[in-house]
Amino acid sequence: MFEASAPAVSASTQLAYPPRAVAWYATLVLAVMYWLSVLDRFIISLLVGPIKADLGLSDTQFGLLNGAAFAVTFCLFGLVAGAVADRFSRRWVIFTGVSIWSISTALCGTAQNFLHLLTARVGVGAGEAALAPAATSMLTDLFPRDRLTTAIAVYALGSTIGSGCAYLFGGLIIEAVSQHSTVTLPLLGEMRSWQAVFFIVGIPGAAMSLLMFTVPEPFRRGQRAVTNSWAFVAAAYRDLIKFIRTQPGFFLSHYVGFGLVSAVITGTGSWLAAFMGRSFGWHYGKIGLVLGLVIGTSGILGPLISGRAIDAMVRRGQRDAQFLWYGSCLIIAAPAGIIALTSKSPTVFIAFLLVFQLTTSSISACSNAALNLVTPNALRGAGVSFYSATAGLVGVSLGPLLMGVISDHVFHSEAAIGYGMAVMIAICFPLAALMLLTGRRHMRKAVAAAEVAAA
């Protein structure tokens, strides 16, 4: 299935990056894939009510579905996908992943109990594991260092726009199909309305995966010839761990800082729709419209502003730009998020949620750019996957679960889910900001070492 990727080329050829039109087209296609992945991942967040009612789930079980069930699989399969992306065609890796997660999303619509839904969510996580390591590796070979963060920020627009679309279009779809307890789809027959949503969202993804074959496979810059033997998987992570030990300060600051933020972002993304319904009594259409507009707007502006600002800092010689920028953003995001999620006023909630989303939406651009600026080309896919399987796994799996646990067992009320999210923000964001801002000197050292090695 996987064709061997382009071999290493001469130094003179490596200096020539592809035409900007080619590089930006590839970035847009990758952003579409990211958009699709997040749409499939988060559509379940709008279906909390009907799924809980039909399958008899608790908030804790739903937190498990949105957190650990997805995240554990995402990270474990990501370890293999990252090593594969470092050796084989990254287009094929992404195509395969998109096909798997799209089919698994549709299979969520066949669930008759908690175990069925859990199994399908595992499939979604397994497929989506292939995207980030392969996509960010491609982008690092398509763009020079002083344009990389902007490129990854544009790619990351797929994430925030995807979650916005999950709420906006998902809300409209749910409003349309929820007029009746069951609906009938062509070839599929009669099913519950929430089950139909998964089919409507999941099935088109398999066809969209073919877009990857319109994107060229870029040369791997600065990489020596490698073997395509499957023994490379273990060797890749052995070499990666050796490399991490050469820059322990950078990796500790990165993993802990961005891991803590991931827990909050994943958790709030899982519970915002339920919070709005429980706190303000809004119907699915209104929840989807508000979240779609807020997250869509902030998801476009936040990463683009961050990418441009960080790349300008890099051109001025700021080697710790990603840590400095995002750590500073968290200082603003923490009080904004707490105010939004403890407010009884819809207007105050929307205003401060917009600030919260604007200041946190560049996490993917900052975390991935920082990793790829430090990590050697031959280990970049494995590096992104290893982060996801360690700090990312802890954050993504525990975020939604802990918020549900706080709601169930601390405040003893479904209506208190907002306080559960606020408590997580109050704990995680100050610690994350501290790790990133104090880790700036480690990042400067690591980037300088990578520049010397590349030269």
Alpha carbon 362 to its chain centroid, in Å, reads 11
Q: Quickly list DSSP for 44-113.
A: GGGGHHHHHHHHT--HHHHHHHHTHHHHHHHHHHHHHHHHHHTTB-HHHHHHHHHHHHHHHHHHHTT--S
Tokens 């060797």, residue? 235
| Burial of 399 (C-beta count, 10 Å sphere; 0-12/13-18/19+) | buried
C-alpha–C-alpha distance, residues 280 and 274, integer Å: 10
pLDDT, position 268: 87
pLDDT, position 16: 74
Tokens 């969209």, residue? 208
The answer to whether the predicted template modeling score (pTM) of the entire model surpasses 0.75 is no
Domains of the chain: 17-210+235-454 (1.20.1250.20)
pLDDT, position 184: 66
C-alpha–C-alpha distance, residues 317 and 328, integer Å: 19
Tokens 């490698």, residue? 226
Contact 204, 214 (CB under 8 A): no
**Length of the chain in terms of residues written:** 455
CA distances from 240 to 157, 200, 257, 299, 382 (A): 28, 40, 20, 32, 7
pLDDT, position 9: 42
Model pLDDT for residues 196-238, shown as the tens digit of each residue: 788 888 888 888 999 999 998 888 876 554 555 556 677 888 8
C-alpha–C-alpha distance, residues 421 and 360, integer Å: 15
Contact 260, 392 (CB under 8 A): no
Structure tokens at 88: 């084989």
C-alpha–C-alpha distance, residues 267 and 118, integer Å: 18
Alpha helices in 281-320 (DSSP H): 284-315
Model pLDDT for residues 101-128, shown as the tens digit of each residue: 999 998 888 888 888 888 888 888 889 9
pLDDT, position 178: 61
C-alpha–C-alpha distance, residues 224 and 166, integer Å: 42
Contact 60, 401 (CB under 8 A): yes
Tell me the residue type at 34. Answer: Y
pLDDT, position 299: 80
pLDDT, position 10: 41
Residue-wise burial string across 274-310, b where 16 or more C-beta atoms lie within 10 A, e elsewhere: bbbbbbeebebbbbbbbbbebbbbbbbbbbbebbebb
Radius of gyration of the chain (CA): 21
Structure tokens at 374: 């430090």
Residue-wise burial string across 148-182, b where 16 or more C-beta atoms lie within 10 A, e elsewhere: bbbbbbbbbbbbbbbbbbbbbbbbebbbbbbeeee
CA distances from 52 to 113, 193, 307, 401 (A): 10, 13, 40, 15
Contact 447, 373 (CB under 8 A): yes
The dihedral region occupied by 223, where left means phi > 0, alpha psi between -120 and 50, and beta the remainder, is beta
C-alpha–C-alpha distance, residues 448 and 429, integer Å: 28
Long-range contacts of 173-177 (CB under 8 A, 24+ apart): 173/197, 173/200, 173/201, 174/46, 174/47, 174/284, 174/285, 174/288, 175/283, 175/284, 175/285, 175/288
pLDDT, position 167: 67
Q: Splitting the chain (455 residues) into consecutive groups of 10 residues, what average pLDDT does each group show?
A: 47 65 93 87 76 78 73 81 86 93 89 85 89 89 86 82 68 65 67 79 86 88 54 79 94 94 86 85 80 83 89 90 96 96 92 94 89 87 83 74 78 78 93 96 94 77
